[in-house]
């Protein structure tokens, strides 16, 4: 029996695209920052090529606009290209009309370079869903309606996690019903623990957790015939990563054991089968996925 294919995704952004650092590197100064993303994307592409894996790359509109050759490189290797928005601002900090114009701007830029229609979106910092910070509930389900309205097929922005996401959201792909049509949601891999879910599919969770725990979790999902989704940022594998000044918790989330990222990532893609979101999506009978109303998330 063929092993189930999991999903590998890359958020194509550079080292200065960390949310809430406008005081250090506002958008108006991004063009003064050293471009390091290209060589890191090249390294990822080579690793995927060596393993005959084609994944999904969520490209930031700003990166596509400034460095169209990066989109051409990814496209040339046969990977799926999707959008990560334009300015890397969290969705719940945007007005709906600004979200829509960013979405369409990034889609237009990327499509005009690749020549292919894109169908997927990922929000910066998993910023769609119900996140609870202090007493603030930050809802952004309207963004899912706009994605459906703009013809997107899928989203990958709702983390089933406390603090940054919707803690009780599903941990495997599901259908979201909106008044403009359905959106298929692809959540990141998490490991269920007594403290709640831990984001082992990427970021600090991937770097901090034992490999054996990550491996066993992927196995459990796959044995239940469910794909898992992992994610990587090009800056996480940069050997000379320039570091921004961040508050302690964010510094830990972004830079804690960052040098472990690449080896762990390679170990996972060596051990399991991986492909793109679009490949998994086209193999699905959508009617068999669990269905959620957009307002329940
Ligand atoms: Zn991002």
Cα 175 to middle of ligand 1, angstroms:
23
pLDDT at 1: 47
How many angstroms separate the alpha carbon of residue 153 from the centre of ligand 1?
20
Cβ-based neighbour number of residue 54 at 10 Å: 18
**What is the DSSP pairing of strand 154-155 with strand 229-232?**
unpaired
> Rounded to the nearest whole angstrom, what is the distance from the C-alpha of residue 12 to the centroid of ligand 1?
7
CA of 87 to the centre of ligand 1 (A): 10
Q: What's the CA-to-centroid distance between 60 and ligand 1, angstroms?
A: 8
Q: How much distance in Å is there from the Cα of 287 to the middle of ligand 1? A: 30
Note the pLDDT of residue 294. Answer: 87
pLDDT at site 250 = 87
Cα of 2 vs centre of ligand 1, distance in Å, is 33
Q: How far is the CA of 137 from the centre of ligand 1 (A)?
A: 21
257 C-alpha to ligand 1 centroid (Å): 19
Question: Rounded to the nearest whole angstrom, what is the distance from the C-alpha of residue 122 to the centroid of ligand 1?
Answer: 8
**Ligand 1 centroid to 1 CA: how many Å?**
36
Q: What is the pTM of this model?
A: 0.95
Q: How far is the CA of 20 from the centre of ligand 1 (A)?
A: 12
Q: Between β-strands 196-198 and 191-193, what pairing exists: parallel, antiparallel or unpaired?
A: antiparallel
pLDDT of residue 288: 87
> Can you give the pLDDT at residue 137?
63
> How far is the centre of ligand 1, averaged over its atoms, from the C-alpha of 288 (Å)?
30
pLDDT of residue 132: 57
Extract the residue ranges of the chain whose pLDDT is less than 50: 1
């Amino acid at each position: 029996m063929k092993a189930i294919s999991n999903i590998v995704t890359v958020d194509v952004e550079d080292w200065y695209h960390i949310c809430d650092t406008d005081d250090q590197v506002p958008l108006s100064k991004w063009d003064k920052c050293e471009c390091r993303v290209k060589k890191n994307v090249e390294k990822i592409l080579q690793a995927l090529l060596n393993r005959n894996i084609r994944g999904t790359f969520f490209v930031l509109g700003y990166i596509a606009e400034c460095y169209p050759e990066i989109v051409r490189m990814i496209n040339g290797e046969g990977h799926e290209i999707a959008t990560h928005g334009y300015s890397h601002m969290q969705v719940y900090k945007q007005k709906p009309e600004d979200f829509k114009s960013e979405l369409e701007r990034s889609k237009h830029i990327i499509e005009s370079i690749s020549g292919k229609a894109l169908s997927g979106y990922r929000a910066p910092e998993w910023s769609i869903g119900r996140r609870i910070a202090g007493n603030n509930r930050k809802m952004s389900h309207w963004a899912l309606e706009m994605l459906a309205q703009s013809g997107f097929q899928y989203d990958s922005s709702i983390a089933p996690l406390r603090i940054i996401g919707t803690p009780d959201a599903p941990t495997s792909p599901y259908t979201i019903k909106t008044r403009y049509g359905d959106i298929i949601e692809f959540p990141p891999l998490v490991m269920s623990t007594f403290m709640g879910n831990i984001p082992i599919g990427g970021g600090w969770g991937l770097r901090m957790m034992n490999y054996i725990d990550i491996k066993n979790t992927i196995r459990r999902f796959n044995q239940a015939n469910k794909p898992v989704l992992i994610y990587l940022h090009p800056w996480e594998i940069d050997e000379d990563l320039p570091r921004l000044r961040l508050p302690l918790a964010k510094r830990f989330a972004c830079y804690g054991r960052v040098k472990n990222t690449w080896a762990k990532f390679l170990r996972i893609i060596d051990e399991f089968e991986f492909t793109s979101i679009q490949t998994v999506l086209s193999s699905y009978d959508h009617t068999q996925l669990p269905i959620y109303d957009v307002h329940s998330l």
